[in-house]
């Protein structure tokens, strides 16, 4: 079995003054290429911490993480920089770099003539917002833009940190359909959630509330 993501002997503890909380202790995981993994757990279970460790946004006390046999080092993730990971963060505003909606969507190489791209922006209600400045968008419009950005990146690994927490029912259904198609095309997916209704979305589950982060096949 080829590991798209391999985690070895990972340990993470948060300390602040006299407070100390161990999140992971000797965590070992092999996430196979092409797996659709749901990372489940309650608030404070370590879901977002695990994602940040995989992306290189957090530093463990010990252990190593490899993505496609390349070691993950702390700092801006090389895999994001070189379009090997698509990441949908809870802090969507952190990933807007352009002035207008059109510039934000087109800088990744998307073409307005692409039928699939046009369908995405039409479905998300962005077609009439292309000339708007990103800073002028409402919260819901920014959510749509972040989702469109994510859905139009062509990368082998997709990571989503609790996306349905801020999506309405229609957008959540659109995202679920997109992820199903992405999985069928062979992409590896890490989907973080605290909702039991989403446990059946993928092929594997990592339950951080029960056990030691074991990968369970559905």
Q: What is the pLDDT of residues 111-159, one digit of tens each?
A: 878 888 888 899 899 999 999 999 999 888 888 899 998 998 889 999 9
Instruction: Determine the pLDDT at residue 32.
Output: 95
Beta bridge partners of 39: 192, 206
Instruction: Determine the pLDDT at residue 129.
Output: 94
Q: Where are the alpha helices (DSSP H) in 45-111?
A: 47-55, 78-81, 101-106
Once rounded to an integer, what is the mean pLDDT over residues 3-17?
A: 91
Is residue 188 one of the residues assigned to a domain? no
pTM tops 0.85, yes or no: yes
Is residue 73 one of the residues assigned to a domain? no
Is residue 134 one of the residues assigned to a domain? yes
Which is higher by pLDDT, 184 or 173?
184
Instruction: Determine the pLDDT at residue 188.
Output: 97
Is residue 10 one of the residues assigned to a domain? no
Q: What is the pLDDT of residues 51-88, one digit of tens each?
A: 999 999 889 999 999 999 889 988 766 666 666 889 99
Answer whether residue 212 shows pLDDT above 70: no
Is residue 158 one of the residues assigned to a domain? no
Nearest Cα to 54, choosing from 176, 206, 202?
206
Once rounded to an integer, what is the mean pLDDT over residues 172-187?
A: 93
Q: What is the pLDDT of residues 23-56, one digit of tens each?
A: 898 899 999 999 999 999 888 889 999 999 999 9
Instruction: Determine the pLDDT at residue 143.
Output: 86
Is residue 122 one of the residues assigned to a domain? yes
Q: The domain containing residue 121 runs over which residues?
A: 94-148
Is residue 43 one of the residues assigned to a domain? no
**Residue 48 to residue 46: CA distance in whole angstroms:** 6
Answer whether residue 217 shows pLDDT above 70: yes
Instruction: Determine the pLDDT at residue 79.
Output: 62
Q: The tokens of 21 are what?
A: 């909380």
CA distances in angstroms from 114 to 30, 117, 120, 135, listed in the order given:
36, 5, 10, 26
What ranges make up the beta strands (E) of the chain? 3-16, 19-32, 36-40, 62-67, 70-71, 85-88, 157-161, 188-193, 204-207, 215-217
Q: What is the pLDDT of residues 89-116, one digit of tens each?
A: 887 766 788 899 999 888 777 787 888 8
Q: How many domains does the chain have?
A: 1
Is residue 156 one of the residues assigned to a domain? no
């Amino acid at each position: 079995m080829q590991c798209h993501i391999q985690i070895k002997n990972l340990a993470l503890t948060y300390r602040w003054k006299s407070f100390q909380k161990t999140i992971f202790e000797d965590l070992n995981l092999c996430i196979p290429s092409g797996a659709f993994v749901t990372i489940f757990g309650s608030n404070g279970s370590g879901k977002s911490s695990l994602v940040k460790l995989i992306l290189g946004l957090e530093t463990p006390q010990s252990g190593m993480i490899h993505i496609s046999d390349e070691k993950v080092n702390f700092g801006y993730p090389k895999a994001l920089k070189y379009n090997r990971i698509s990441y949908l963060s809870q802090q969507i505003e952190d990933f807007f770099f352009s002035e207008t909606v059109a510039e934000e969507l087109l800088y990744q190489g998307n073409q307005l003539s692409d039928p699939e791209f046009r369908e995405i922006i039409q479905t998300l209600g962005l077609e009439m917002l292309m000339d708007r400045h990103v800073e002028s968008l409402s919260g819901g419009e920014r959510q749509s833009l972040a989702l469109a950005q994510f859905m139009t990146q062509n990368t082998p690994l997709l990571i989503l940190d609790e996306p349905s927490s801020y999506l309405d029912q229609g957008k959540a259904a659109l995202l679920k359909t997109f992820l199903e198609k992405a999985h069928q095309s062979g992409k590896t997916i890490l989907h973080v959630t605290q909702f039991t209704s989403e446990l059946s979305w993928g092929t594997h589950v990592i339950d951080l509330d029960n056990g030691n982060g074991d990968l369970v096949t559905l």
